[in-house]
Amino acid sequence: MPVSTNVLAGRSPARNLLAENGSLAALVVLVVALSLLSGDFLTVTNLLNVGVQAAVTAILAFGSTFVIITGGIDLSVGAVAALSAIVLAWTAADTGLPWPLATLVALAVGVGCGLVNAALIAYGKLPPFIATLAMLGVARGLALVVAQGSPIEMPEAVSHLGDTVGGYLPVPVLVMALMGVVAAVLLNRTYAGRAMYAIGGNEEAARLSGIAVSRQKLVTYALSGAFAAVAGIVLASRLASAQPQAASGYELDAIAAVVIGGASLSGGKGKALGTLVGALILAVLRNGLNLLSVSAFWQQVVIGVVIALAVLLDTLRRRSSR
């Protein structure tokens, strides 16, 4: 399927899609290259594995897409993901709360962290970098405090989120698709989404045109927190165990996925589909490096180079199409 898009036949919709999305072209190149290098890469099982491995990063990154479109940044998503999962496992295990309620509490924790971020940014006038850096520390610390430094078992009902449907279709991939659709609809079809683009494009103009900027920032960061909570729950479900140190450093993967997907860190630009492609590029790359048995030290070099190349490809395409 991806190979046919390389054929330069007419103005097919696929070709238009590639021309618009440099990152999608990068993903296709990567997939073709890995299929040639490793016989184990292009199998249904392996591609589903890649999907599962992309899921947590992608869900975090969808949340970060909102924030980055407004011209902000959220460094706290990894820590908030860990805290939410820990709160879920802890409330279910230690206080005996039924799992649906515990899940709601966990989501509320994510939203709450996002609201605190937004309040510091919108009303406290802190730069987003600093406000969310502070939240990174607080959330990670609280996760350790609540868990007393040790992993907590996840309630069994919730752990099914890490399983497969009918022994075949992995649930994390379904959750990723669902969250992706939610993100796309929010961005393209709702007032909140349009407000995010407006704020990122020009905050002052957005304010003058009657958008309640501070309130919309609350919505934006709360969404980021909620998506982080979902990502944390999916991650913990895969392991059947919530870990206070889980997802550390994932915020950087999320930001990389968003930017590889064509968003601009100065705001106003970004798409849910692009972010999904960005997360897939990272997952495909890590999977491929394992299959090819690349040494530990070189893996980090290769990942860095591919991130730079993917974004470079996108900017070059944009410039030439202008």
Partner 1 sequence: MRIHALIAAGAALTLGLTACGSSGTSSSGSAGAASGGDIKIGLSISTLNNPYFVQLRNGAEAEAKKLGVTLTVTDAQNDASQQVNQVQNFTSQNMKAIIINPVDSDAAAPAVKIAERSSIPMIAVDRGVNGAKIAQTVASDNVAGGKLAAEQLAKEIGEKGEVVVLQGVPGTSASRDRGQGFTEGIKAYPNIKVVAQQPADFDRAKGLDVMTNLLQSHPGISGVFAENDEMALGAIKALGAKAGKEVKVAGFDGTPDGLKAIEAGTLAASIAQQPALLGQQAVQNAVKAAKGEQLQATVNVPVKVATKDNLSEFTGA
Which parts of this chain interact with partner 1 (CB under 8 A)?
38, 40-41, 43, 45-46, 49, 52-53, 56, 144, 148-151, 235, 238-241, 243, 245-247, 286-287, 290-291, 293, 295-297, 299-300
Under 8 Å between Cβ of 242 and 88 = yes
Residue number with CB closer to partner 1 (48 or 174): 48
Compute the distance between CA of residue 307 and CA of residue 86 in angstroms, rounded to an integer.
Answer: 31
Residue number with CB closer to partner 1 (28 or 52): 52
Residue number with CB closer to partner 1 (53 or 70): 53
State the nearest-atom distance from the C-beta of 24 to partner 1, in Å: 23
State the nearest-atom distance from the C-beta of 296 to partner 1, in Å: 4
Residue number with CB closer to partner 1 (53 or 91): 53
Compute the distance between CA of residue 243 and CA of residue 101 in angstroms, rounded to an integer.
Answer: 20
State the nearest-atom distance from the C-beta of 215 to partner 1, in Å: 20
Compute the distance between CA of residue 79 and CA of residue 188 in angstroms, rounded to an integer.
Answer: 28
User: Which segments of 95-190 does DSSP mark as H helices, in order?
Assistant: 99-122, 128-147, 156-159, 171-189
**Angle of the 77-94 helix axis to the 44-69 helix axis, nearest 10:** 110
Looking from the CA of 178 toward its CB, the CA atoms found within 13 Å total 12
Residue number with CB closer to partner 1 (43 or 209): 43
Compute the distance between CA of residue 232 and CA of residue 192 in angstroms, rounded to an integer.
Answer: 24
State the nearest-atom distance from the C-beta of 59 to partner 1, in Å: 14
**Angle of the 22-37 helix axis to the 296-321 helix axis, nearest 10:** 140
Q: Which of 153, 155, 39 is nearest to 104 (CA)?
A: 155
State the nearest-atom distance from the C-beta of 247 to partner 1, in Å: 8
State the nearest-atom distance from the C-beta of 149 to partner 1, in Å: 5
Residue number with CB closer to partner 1 (35 or 264): 35
Residue number with CB closer to partner 1 (4 or 45): 45
State the nearest-atom distance from the C-beta of 130 to partner 1, in Å: 14
Q: To the nearest 10°, report the CA torsion of 273, 232, 190, 174.
A: 50
Read off the amino acid at residue 98.
Answer: P
Looking from the CA of 55 toward its CB, the CA atoms found within 13 Å total 27
